[in-house]
Homo-oligomer: A and B are copies of this chain.
Amino acid sequence: MQRTLSDISYNPEEIAIAAMAKALSHPVRIRILRLLAEQTCCFTGELTELIPMAQSTISQHLKALKEAGLIQGEINPPKVKYCIDREQWGKARTLVGEFFRLNGHAGCC
**Residues on B with beta carbons closer than 8 Å to the beta carbon of A25:** 18, 21-22, 25
Interface string of A25-48 (1 = CB under 8 A from B): 111111101101111111000000
Contact B86 A92 (CB under 8 A): no
Q: Does A83 contact B (CB under 8 A)?
A: yes
- Check A17–B24 contact: CB distance below 8 A: yes
Assembly stoichiometry (copies): 2
Of the residues B7, B81, B108, contact of A52 by C-beta under 8 Å: B7
User: Contact flags (1/0) for A64-100 with B, using CB distance below 8 Å?
Assistant: 0000000010100000011111100100110011011
**A interface residue numbers (CB < 8 A to B):** 4-5, 7-8, 10, 14-15, 17-18, 21-31, 33-34, 36-42, 51-54, 72, 74, 81-86, 89, 92-93, 96-97, 99-105, 107-109
- Can you name 17 extra interface pairs (CB under 8 A) apart from A8-B52, A14-B30? A8-B28, A8-B51, A14-B31, A18-B25, A21-B23, A21-B24, A22-B25, A36-B104, A37-B103, A42-B109, A72-B109, A74-B109, A81-B108, A81-B109, A84-B102, A86-B104, A93-B100
